[in-house]
Amino acid sequence: MIRAVRGTRDLLPPETALWNYVETMVREVFRVYNFQEIRTPIFEETQLFARSVGEETDIVSKEMYTWEDRGRTASDKGQSLTLRPENTAGVVRAYIEHKLWDRGLNKLYYIGPQFRRERPQKGRYRQFYQIGAEVIGPPTAGSESPARDAELLELLATLLDRLGIADWCLQLNSVGCPNDRAAYNEALRKALEPVVSNMCVDCQRRAVTNPLRVFDCKVPEDQPIIDKLPRISHYLDEPCRNHFDEVQQILKAVGVPFTINDRLVRGLDYYTRTAFEFTHGALGAQNAILGGGRYDGLSESLGGPKAPGIGFAIGEDRLVLALQQTAESVQCKPDVYIAPLGAGMNAEAAKLARELRRQEVVVELGDETFRLKKSLETASKLGARFALIVGENEVKSGAFALKNLSTGDQVAVPRDGLTDEIRSRVQKL
């Protein structure tokens, strides 16, 4: 038997009802914050990710799904293409390609799959789903303002609250500008020299190629060493420090709680200044639901104009995992199960179902070959609230038996009053 590839999975009912609930809520929150949807291809030129994410990141060096596309002729070497491991680079590429700076400040969001060949674990898959947003535009549009950072963080706090994730924690840091990071990287190299031989192989490599990536390490034995390394907050220049202070002031003014974590760095090379994560205890040790930060130089590194920006990505798989306790309440279950009884009743039941569905009543149809007992058992398994019995006598009289499947109570309802009666009874449950 052929099975789903390791690290992928099928999303099945009733779980998909929870996914739809999350995405509907997300779209509504984005709407009131004046974000608009963007959809980019799921694969791009490999160089897009190498130049933006960083050659020395684990994503580029270990985790990307990359292949050589076939050329147009036998002698024509094809492009190197990669399934997107993240979506910010694709959004910025689209910003440059379509000259979106003409629109001023762009507030864009996306929902879709990403791909990384990493070790599957709880809530993490090789094909995973992200909900993300980017605020990007020319400096004249206010894209550099700390108000943009605070607005995005307040949006996320609002979204998590509306989804019912009440015990989230916002961790906040500033990774400074490129000059700050250069000085900090040098300080890290010096601090790591006498101790790096005691660290994992990945950290030994990172200490040479990109010391900041040492903070991505999850090896327990390395954490005491990492805890003693210099703090980036000591290397921020005055503009970066002032920017970070104002972000904090706005968050305090709007009542969004946060914790400063000056060990927090984002895993991609394009981040500058504000970096953040939202965590949730229900996800265990790997407790980050979402993360993001500012990337003021990314557009220029991809050949575009100066376009400061800030964005985030939510791991939708892990977000849904944190909401499993609410799954039952968002499942779509039939309001009524129509049970046709006897030969020729399928057609009558179908007509009745059509009338009810046009009035937004959720209907499931049975079959005239079922005995009444089987119809009622099937209705209960589906979670239907009521059963509507359609037999020859009911059709002739124009009144149908409506049975409450929880209490067993049954009433006769005229055809022209069915919609109102079903709606009224469903609302009382």
pLDDT above 80: residue 377: yes
pLDDT above 70: residue 373: yes
CA distance 33 to 88: 19
pLDDT in tens, 27-58: 999 999 999 999 999 999 998 988 877 665 66
- At 63, the pLDDT band (50, 70, 90 cuts) reads confident
pLDDT of residue 350: 94
pLDDT above 70: residue 285: no
Residues in the chain: 429
pLDDT above 70: residue 268: no
pLDDT above 60: residue 267: no
Comparing 7-16, 102-111, 306-315, 348-357, the range with the smallest average pLDDT is 7-16
pLDDT: which is higher, 226 or 54: 226
CA distance 311 to 292: 6
Tell me the mean pLDDT in the region 320-335. Answer: 75
Comparing 220-234, 273-287, 404-418, the range with the smallest average pLDDT is 273-287
pLDDT above 80: residue 330: no
For 343, residues 6+ apart whose C-beta sits below 8 A from its C-beta are: 368
Strands (DSSP E) contained in 211-279 are 259-260, 272-279
103 within 8 A of 119, measured Cβ to Cβ: no
pLDDT above 80: residue 179: yes
pLDDT of residue 327: 59
256 within 8 A of 153, measured Cβ to Cβ: yes
pLDDT above 90: residue 209: no
CA distance 44 to 93: 10
pLDDT in tens, 65-92: 898 887 666 666 778 999 999 999 999 9
Domain architecture of the chain: domains with CATH? 15-177+237-327 (3.30.930.10), 333-428 (3.40.50.800)
Express as a percent the part of the chain with pLDDT over 70. Answer: 92
CA distance 215 to 64: 21
pLDDT in tens, 113-171: 999 987 766 667 899 999 999 999 999 999 999 999 999 999 999 999 999 887 899 99
The CA-atom distances, in angstroms, between 399 and each of 339, 374, 379, 389, 413 are 14, 22, 20, 10, 5
**Which of the listed ranges 147-151, 185-189, 224-228, 295-299 does the model predict with the highest average pLDDT?**
147-151
